[in-house]
């Protein structure tokens, strides 16, 4: 029964309550047959981990002391208790032989009280050890998570472009959780198992070396059998996992594309494929279940072998008066409690591997490159006019693939710059460079004549307001979300910003008004309203330079008009970069940057670009081509 350990509060991301529950992974008697994931650098990771743990040195030593004390107390118990049985037996023999008529109850009582106190001490110490250890492991979990969260903020955006969100998420929750759980498990188990094995061995030898040797013979036997079974079942287990993957994959795919499957009458084909997978899964599933299920009975049988051997040999030795009846009783208990720590120790390397693998992933993340350090003497500006200049800017997401080769432009305060291009042309690149989410490879970007690298990132970003197409809001109230633009804004300022963003009226029609908590999927307000809230947020920030991403899709007509008004409001008097989808925006822009495949292919005003008859002209005219079809 694997009820041990404190880290049961697993950080699993499952939202299906039935899929996993409080008991942790798998059933209580299912042995985990999956081979533990192997770390690349076991030693190095372990060293790092030990260093990380060094601040818990004293607590860990205390844990060890209590674990040892608790284990020793529980090991001594049976041997002492055996004396009571022996005394009883002698008393009985005496009665039969007629040499005595009473049994020495005072002695037996004394022994029982002694043993009981030992067991009580063992329980108490065991609990103290568990109490401290769970505190330590929880604290480690907490610290790792906190460090990761802080680390995320120091990493360049570039890392996250190349990494799946789920992967980072899994480090914060699953990996950290596995790490703390296995750490807890392995530390406790190593200590108690080793002490138990040694202690039990000592006690066994103190009773009878012959019986001890006989019962030790059983260990290699069980090892061999277990290894044979594990090797066999692992094969089928892997097969089972593979086919489970196939079945699940097919199910996911078919349910996900249900409409398409139906539209093309693919039912029969789909079921046929499923059956093939399912049947293969069946044959590997029962074999793997059967073989892994064999482990327990075989181990039990081996345990029974030891039991029988001890009974026979003990009986024989008792006749010879080498040992006493109580010794047999104690010995049987020792043999029984010997197998568990041995299996635990055999498993410990697996657990350590798991620990190291999880730790490795966490440390790997912690060691990722961080953003280039800020300028040591940062520049601070009192007021900003909003002149932006690009000077021979050269940039590529990676050095081998330069997307912006040589871009220069000067934007004057209050001007409007439209960035256009087909989907996936890299329209947001300029924005990312401006706000220093990415650093340019060469050239310079100047704001009011100062190189943006001379500002701290924080100060630089303060100059900009940003409204992106996928409106990002967090799980908080509407008020809090708008205030995100400037944390020290008063409620009145927030309302004013909302009014300017044309969202005040809407918010006031909601049941909780500004105190409505946006739910996790932000489904309780529409996409368009979210957009308006982000505009309000930008209003509150009152930036000198604006970055706008015009959204058109999935917004109803009326809201769209509101958004248009709000954006026009916001842009008044500010230098604005607009990722444009709307023709009206493009045409009255002071400068249009035309992008394709990451690069700026053309730049100029609407009329200039049309006259040029290049990519822009083609793009622009394609909107009317439908008319030409007829």
Partner 1 sequence: MLRLARYLKPYTLMVLITIALLFVQANADLALPDYMSKIVNNGIQQGGVENAIPMAIRQSEMNRLVIFLSAENKNLVLGHYALVDKNSPDYEKYLADYTILADQPIYVRNNIDKAGIALLNPVMAKAELIVSSIEQMMADPSKAAAMGQSLGFDITKIPPGMDLFSTLPMLPSAQLEQITAGIDEKFASLGYSMTNQMAVGFVKTEYAALGLDTSQLQTNYILNTGYMMLLLSLLSVGCTIIVGFLSAKTAAGAARDMRRDVFKKVESFSNSEFDKFSTASLITRSTNDVTQIQMVVIMIMRMVFYAPIIGVGGIIRAIGKSANMWWIIAVAVITLLSLIIVVFSISLPKFKIIQKLIDRLNLVTREHLSGMMVIRAFNMQKFEEDRFDKANLDLTSNSLFIARVMVIMMPLMMLIMNGLSLGIIWVGAHQVANNTMQVGDMMAFMQYAMQIVFAFLMLSMMFIILPRASVSGGRIADVLETEPVIKDPVQPKKFPESFSGKVEFRNVSFKYPDAQEDVLHNISFTALPGQTTAFIGSTGSGKSTVVNLLPRFHEVTEGAIYVDGIDIRDVNQADLREKIGYIPQKGMLFSGTIESNLRYADENASEAAMLDAIRVSQASEFIFSKPEGMAAEISQGGSNVSGGQKQRLSIARALVKKPPIYIFDDSFSALDFKTDSALRKALKQNTGASNILIVTQRVSTIKTAEQIIVLEEGRIVGKGNHHELMDTCEPYREIALSQLSKEELS
Give, as ranges, the residues between 413 and 442 that touch partner 1 (CB under 8 A). Answer: 422-424, 432, 435, 437
Burial annotation 238-253 (CB, 10 A radius, 16+ → b, else e): ebbbebeebbeebeee
Among 45, 141, 354, 575, binds partner 1 (CB under 8 A): 141
Q: 């690298």: which residue's tokens?
A: 453
How many CA atoms lie within 13 Å of 543's alpha carbon, on the beta-carbon side?
A: 25
> Two tokens at 564?
């248009």
Regarding 598 and contact with partner 1 (CB under 8 A), the answer is no
| Shortest CB 530 distance to partner 1, Å | 12
Nearest to 534 by CA among 594, 579, 472: 472
Interface size with partner 1, residues (CB under 8 A):
183
Sheet holding 401-411, edge to edge: 401-411, 388-398, 442-447, 450-451
Residues 488-527: x where in contact with partner 1 by CB under 8 A, - otherwise, as a string: --------------------------------x-----xx
Task: Decide if residue 217 touches partner 1 (CB under 8 A).
Answer: no
The single residue among 485, 531, 567, 576 that binds partner 1, judged by CB under 8 A, is: 485
Q: Is 593 helix (H, G, I), strand (E, B) or coil?
A: strand
Residue of 263, 376, 398, 607 that binds partner 1 (CB under 8 A) = 263
Q: Which residue is it, tokens 């489970």?
A: 244
Nearest by Cα to 241 from 283, 284, 270, 291: 284
Q: By CB under 8 A, name the one of 74, 178, 193, 196 that touches partner 1.
A: 74
Q: Taking the complex as a whole, how short is the minimal distance between the CB of residue 26 and partner 1, in angstroms?
A: 8
Region near partner 1 per CB under 8 A, out of 112-120, 346-354, 388-396, 408-416: 112-120
Angle between helix 176-207 and 209-256 (nearest 10): 160
Site for partner 1 in 375-414 (CB under 8 A): none
**Between residues 115 and 576, which has the closer beta carbon with respect to partner 1?**
115
Tell me the closest approach of the beta carbon of residue 500 to partner 1, in angstroms: 18
- Nearest Cα residue to 331 out of 481, 232, 207, 497: 207
Determine which residue in the list 162, 509, 584, 607 makes contact with partner 1, applying CB under 8 A.
584
The token pair at 281 is 């899964």
Please identify which residue in 244, 346, 403, 409 interacts with partner 1, judged by CB under 8 A.
Answer: 244
Query: Exactly one of 32, 139, 454, 542 binds partner 1 (CB under 8 A); which one?
Result: 139
Calculated CA dihedral for residues 522, 523, 526, 529, nearest 10 degrees: -20
> In the set 43, 99, 106, 255, which binds partner 1 (CB under 8 A)?
255
Interaction of residue 106 with partner 1, rule CB under 8 A: no
Does 462 help bind partner 1 (rule: CB under 8 A)?
Answer: yes
DSSP sequence for 426-474: -TTHHHHHHTTSS--SEEEEEETTEEGGGS-HHHHHHTEEEE-SS----
Give the residue with the Cβ less far from partner 1, 45 or 181: 181
Beta bridge pairs of residue 407: 393
Q: Which of 216, 307, 510, 610 binds partner 1 (CB under 8 A)?
A: 307
Which residue in 67, 75, 172, 388 binds partner 1 (CB under 8 A)?
A: 172
Pick the binder of partner 1 from 334, 464, 514, 577 (CB under 8 A).
Answer: 464
Closest approach, Cβ 244 to partner 1, in A, equals 7
For residue 39, give the nearest of 178, 237, 188, 234 by alpha carbon: 178
Cβ proximity to partner 1: between 416 and 537 the closer is: 537
C-beta of 391 vs 582, nearer to partner 1: 582
Nearer to partner 1, 43 or 96 (CB): 96
User: At its nearest, how many Å lie between partner 1 and the CB of residue 30?
Assistant: 7
What's the rounded Cα separation, in Å, for the pair 136 and 188? Answer: 12
CB closer to partner 1 out of 205 and 282: 282
Regarding 253 and contact with partner 1 (CB under 8 A), the answer is yes
What distance in Å separates the CA atoms of residue 478 and residue 476, rounded to the nearest whole number? Answer: 7
Residues numbered 271-300 forming contacts with partner 1, rule: CB under 8 A: 271, 274-275, 278-279, 281-282, 285-287, 289-290, 293-294, 296-298, 300
Sign of CA dihedral 6, 8, 9, 10: positive
Provide the 10 A C-beta neighbour count for residue 165: 8
């Amino acid at each position: 029964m694997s009820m041990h350990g404190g880290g049961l509060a697993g950080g699993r991301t499952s939202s299906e309550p039935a899929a996993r529950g409080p008991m942790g992974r798998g059933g209580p008697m299912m042995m985990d047959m999956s081979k533990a994931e192997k770390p690349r650098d076991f030693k190095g990771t372990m060293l790092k981990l030990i260093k990380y743990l060094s601040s818990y040195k004293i607590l860990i030593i205390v844990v060890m002391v209590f674990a040892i004390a608790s284990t020793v107390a529980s090991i001594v118990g049976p041997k002492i208790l055996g004396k009571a049985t022996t005394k009883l037996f002698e008393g009985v023999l005496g009665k039969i032989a007629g040499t005595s008529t009473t049994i020495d109850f005072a002695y037996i009582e004394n022994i029982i009280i002694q043993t009981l106190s030992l067991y009580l001490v063992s329980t108490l110490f065991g609990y103290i050890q568990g109490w401290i250890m769970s505190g330590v492991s929880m604290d480690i979990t907490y610290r790792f998570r906190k460090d990761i969260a802080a680390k995320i903020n120091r990493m360049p955006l570039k890392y996250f472009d190349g990494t799946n969100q789920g992967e980072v998420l899994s480090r914060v929750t699953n990996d950290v959780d596995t790490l703390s759980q296995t750490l807890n498990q392995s530390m406790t188990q190593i200590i108690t198992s080793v002490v138990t094995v040694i202690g039990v061995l000592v006690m066994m030898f103190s009773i009878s070396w012959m019986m001890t040797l006989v019962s030790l013979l059983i260990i290699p036997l069980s090892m061999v059998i277990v290894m044979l079974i594990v090797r066999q079942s692992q094969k089928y287990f892997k097969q089972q996992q593979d086919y489970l993957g196939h079945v699940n994959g097919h199910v996911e795919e078919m349910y996900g594309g249900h409409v398409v499957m139906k539209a093309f009458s693919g039912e029969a084909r789909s079921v046929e494929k499923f059956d093939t997978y399912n049947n293969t899964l069946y044959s590997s599933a029962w074999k793997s279940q059967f073989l892994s299920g064999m482990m327990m009975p075989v181990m039990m049988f081996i345990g029974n072998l030891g039991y029988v051997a001890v009974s026979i040999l003990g009986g024989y030795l008792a006749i010879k008066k080498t040992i006493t009846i109580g010794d047999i009783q104690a010995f049987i208990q020792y043999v029984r409690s010997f197998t568990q720590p041995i299996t635990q120790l055999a498993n410990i390397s697996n657990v350590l591997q798991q620990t190291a693998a999880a730790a490795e992933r966490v440390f790997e993340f912690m060691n990722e490159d961080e953003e280039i350090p800020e300028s040591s003497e940062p520049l601070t500006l009192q007021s900003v006019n909003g002149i932006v200049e690009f000077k021979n800017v050269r940039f590529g997401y990676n050095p081998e693939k330069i997307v912006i080769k040589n871009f220069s432009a000067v934007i004057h305060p209050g001007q409007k710059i439209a960035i256009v291009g087909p989907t996936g042309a890299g329209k947001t690149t300029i924005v990312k460079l401006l706000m220093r989410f990415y650093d340019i490879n060469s050239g310079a970007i100047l704001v009011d004549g100062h190189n943006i690298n001379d500002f701290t990132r924080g100060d630089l970003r303060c100059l900009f307001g940003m409204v992106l197409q996928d409106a990002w809001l967090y799980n908080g109230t509407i008020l809090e979300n708008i205030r995100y633009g400037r944390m020290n804004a008063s409620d009145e300022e927030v309302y004013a910003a909302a009014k300017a963003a044309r969202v005040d009226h809407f918010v006031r029609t909601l049941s909780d008004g500004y105190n409505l908590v946006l739910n996790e999927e932000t489904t309780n307000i529409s996409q368009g309203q979210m957009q308006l809230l982000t505009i309000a947020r930008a209003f509150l920030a009152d930036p000198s330079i604006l970055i706008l991403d015009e959204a058109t899709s999935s917004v109803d007509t009326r809201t769209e008009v509101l958004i248009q008004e709000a954006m026009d409001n916001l842009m008044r008097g500010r230098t604005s970069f607009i990722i444009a989808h709307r023709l009206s925006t493009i045409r009255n822009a002071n400068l249009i940057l035309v992008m394709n495949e990451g690069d700026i292919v053309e730049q100029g005003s609407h009329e200039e670009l049309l006259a040029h008859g290049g990519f822009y002209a083609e793009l622009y005219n394609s909107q009317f081509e439908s008319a030409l079809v007829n």
